[in-house]
Structure 1
Amino acid sequence: MAEPLKNLLDGSQVDAMAAHLSRVCHEFDREAFVARARPGLDALAFKARAMQLADALEVALPADFDRAADALEASLAPVTAHDFDEPGELRTHALGLAGWPVWAMGEYVARRGQDLPDRALAALHALTQRFSAEFAIRPFIVRHPARVIATLQRWTTDRSAHVRRLVSEGSRPRLPWGLQLKALIADPSPTLPLLEALQDDPSGYVRRSVANHLNDIAKDHPARVADWLQRHLPEASAQRRALLRHASRTLVKQGDVAVLAAWGLGQPLQGRAVLRVTPASIRLGESVDLNLMLVSTSPQPQRLVIDYAVHHVKANGSSSPKVFKGWNLELAAGEHRAMLKRHAVKPITTRTYHPGWHRITVQVNGQAVAEGGFMLG
């Protein structure tokens, strides 16, 4: 069994932070830091551990934020000492701090640096190259939006891919685990120039963030993303097409007509579809097989995006659909094609299953074409 993720922030990381910060800052109160950081740490969830370490930094670092930021920066591992594509790959070592402890350092900057935003942003520029400051920068966007957006615009050309990625990831309206940026949820206009500057970034790490940011926007402003595709998809490079396809995933699943049209998928199926679901009855933890037969009546090939929605039964007897990815394919003229997808009905933390008839609908290019279902006992 894999070790719990939260154990990446344990007592050994407390000791490492204490050692490196003591090494670079004579004002750092090592004893106070350890006394605040260690008690009850093992019982806490992952994010709560990072917040407790930030609490400990607040009692141990100098009261003057500028000096405290100097200490944080001096304690970091050299940028040249590592090369990473995901923040979780970083680890603290003999030369300085990197990886998950830097999450707590960013939280400290977010708490204590609001009155000195320029100094705080400089600190986040350093921190994000050793982990990620995507959570820490968000309170600054809320409190100092114009100043931070202007800084992010400059950072779109930063030499570090990790800084450029922060431009997109830190300003995502609905970043998981992060503070929601309600002003940007309401109006994403300020970040669109940032994304335009980064969508052809040489780093795949940066481009994935841009795709996820656009997908966030799609949840609240689908027409914005449809317009983006109309402007940026024609004659796009293979890399940009991959980014835009990932950015379109939610709207494609939802069958958004404008987005499907942008991808050349706006035409309904010419032909018929038959769905057979087996077995007819299962229990929680088991699976059903979705047997789909497509029959083309078109004289031309058809490009099809096929998804399926499971209409989960709710406690009150109504149902709520959840769309799952099916197939992307080209159906030849007159072709008959049989396809199989196994769908597991297993306990997960984000869904409560209730017994009853679970309807399944198959949608082709956003349009429902067949349905079946199963009884969950």
Structure 2
Amino acid sequence: MEPLKEMFNREFYRHFAQAFAGADKNFNPKTFIKDVTQGMETLSLNGRLRNTSVMLHKHLPGDFTKAAEVLFKAAPSLQTGYTALVLPDFVALYGKQHFDLSMEALKRFTTIGSSEFAIREFLKTDLDKTLKVMNKWAEDKNHHVRRLASEGSRPRLPWSFKLDGIIKKPALTQTILEKLNADEELYVRKSVANHLNDHSKDNTAYMLQLVKNWDKRHRHTAWIIKHAIRTLIKKGDKEALDIFGFGEEAQVKFGRFWLDKTSLRLGDTLQFSFQLASKKETPQKLVIDYAVHYIKSSGETSKKVFKLKETELQPGQTLQIVKKQLFQDLTTRKHYPGKHLLEIIVNGKTMGSKGFSLSV
């Protein structure tokens, strides 16, 4: 499989240089390609992105306003997606002294390659001024721009630095989130939910109080809240469970907990099953999860919670659950040999657990 950094390869740079040569008669594509590809084999994906911005600055007019004109002209001819992040990255590097023009550029460029990382450089420099612009973006007709308002101001955006000012004062982004809390676009709603989930890690009480005041009867708002509190639900947070009626301790009989094997090799699938029988005379809402306690390289364990099912258990009803779990190395998880544990959790409470061994 070709490394991701090969998105920035020589073929890409040929097309890229042609787009800029068409936008600026003084742009020399051959010299640019020579400069930008020199030593690129040693650079990572993000290293190549940043190097492209730096080399572009070398070959464009030194005045940012004139360089921005060329960027605007070239943008329609560029590929969309990750490689288009070069445009907002250029703005973040060289547009700090031209705030209004930079904001307009980031708004335009986010429609072809997200400006979520670039805008954070301006938030770091002038938080209040930049948030005023992003509040306006939250009302934009283009869903890419609306999403930028939420995603760019996330306190803990992956692959970027934390926004300590927003972590200290989470209410700074409240108006943005409230403008988007029933957005018709799933792309935007996912960002709002992730933004709120970020808040839950540093300002749990604030985040829960905020979403409690939102209208859960609206299906888009309910979707956002449910995904926003997912981490707290997995932790069994009582207040988070209460929001959707899962706060009461489950009145069930737990039984017939079974694993199809107690010794696995890497690449094997573990199948497990169990039953939940109602002990209540009225319906009860249940959120059912399971957790695997993985062995770490240190020999200690790390608990990972997985979603299983949300249901309403009727009086006298018995629910049979069957699930399979594959044990295979991923980019996000490496397995280590030893005694693992499988745990069943209902409404935040452990119902039972069984051990099994894994060899690699």
TM-score, structure 1 length as denominator? 0.89
SS at match of 1:232: coil
Deviations 1:243-281 (A, max 9, x none): 221222111111111111011110111022233223011
Give yes or no for the alignment of 1:375 onto 2:354.
Answer: no
Structure 1's 353 and 203: CA in aligned 2 closer, same or farther, altered over 3 A? Answer: closer
Counterpart of 1:198, as a letter, is L
| Corresponding position: 1:244 with 2:225 | yes
- In structure 2, the partner of 1:72 is 71
Instruction: Work out whether 1:101 is the aligned partner of 2:107.
Output: no
> Which residue of structure 2 aligns with residue 161 of structure 1?
143
Q: Retained in 1: the 8 A contact 2:279–2:316?
A: yes
Q: Does the C-alpha gap of structure 1 residues 188 and 36 become closer, same or farther in structure 2, counting only changes over 3 Å?
A: farther
Deviation string 1:184-217 (CA, Å, 9 cap, x unpaired) is 2333221111010111223222222111211121
How far off is 1:44 after superposition?
4.4
Contact 2:289 2:308 in 1 (8 A): yes
- 1:21, distance to aligned residue in structure 2 (A): 1.3
Distance 1:314 1:128 in 2: 39
* One-letter amino acid of the counterpart of residue 121, structure 1: M
- Picking from 144, 162, 172, the partner of 1:180 is 162
Q: For 1:101-139, what per-residue CA distance to the aligned partner results, in whole angstroms no more than 9, with x for missing partners? A: 321121111111122222211111111122211111111
Q: Does residue 271 of structure 1 match 2:263?
A: no
Q: What is the letter of the counterpart of residue 225 of structure 2?
A: L
Q: Is the 8 A contact 1:32 1:56 kept in 2?
A: no
Counterpart of 1:251, as a letter, is L
Write the letter of the residue equivalent to 1:237.
Answer: H
The residue number in structure 2 matching 1:151 is 133
C-alpha contact 2:296 2:335 (8 A) present in aligned 1: yes
Q: In structure 2, what is the equivalent of residue 12 of structure 1? A: 11
Deviations 1:164-191 (A, max 9, x none): 1110111112222233323223332211
* CA–CA distance in structure 2, aligned partners of residues 183 and 193 of structure 1: 16
How is 1:1-377 mapped onto 2 (pairs within 5 angstroms)? 5-41=4-40, 44-77=43-76, 95-96=77-78, 98-234=80-216, 236-274=217-255, 275-377=257-359
Give the C-alpha shift of residue 76 in structure 1: 1.6
Root-mean-square deviation (CA, aligned residues, Å) is 1.9
8 Å contact kept, 2:339–2:357: yes
User: In the aligned structure 2, how far is the partner of 1:153 from the partner of 1:210?
Assistant: 13
SS of aligned partner of 1:291: strand
AA of the residue aligned to 2:62: A
Greater alpha carbon shift after TM alignment, 284-293 vs 30-39: 30-39
Which consecutive residues of structure 2, in runs of 5 or more, have no partner in the other structure? none
Q: Could you say what secondary structure the match of 1:75 adopts?
A: helix
- Once the two structures are superposed, what CA deviation does each residue of 1:283-340 show, in whole Å capped at 9, x if it has no partner? 1221211212112111112211111111112334322211111111222212222211
- The letter for the 1-side match of 2:231 is T
* CA shift in 2, pair 1:308/1:47, >3 Å: same
SS in 1 for 2:172: helix
Farther off after superposition, 141-150 or 208-217: 208-217
Under a length normalisation based on structure 2, what TM-score does the superposition of the two structures give? 0.93
Distance in 1 between residues matched to 2:85 and 2:325, nearest whole Å: 37
**Which segments of 5 or more consecutive residues in structure 1 lack a partner in the other structure?**
78-94
SS of residue matched to 2:184:
coil
| 1:370 Cα offset (Å) | 1.2
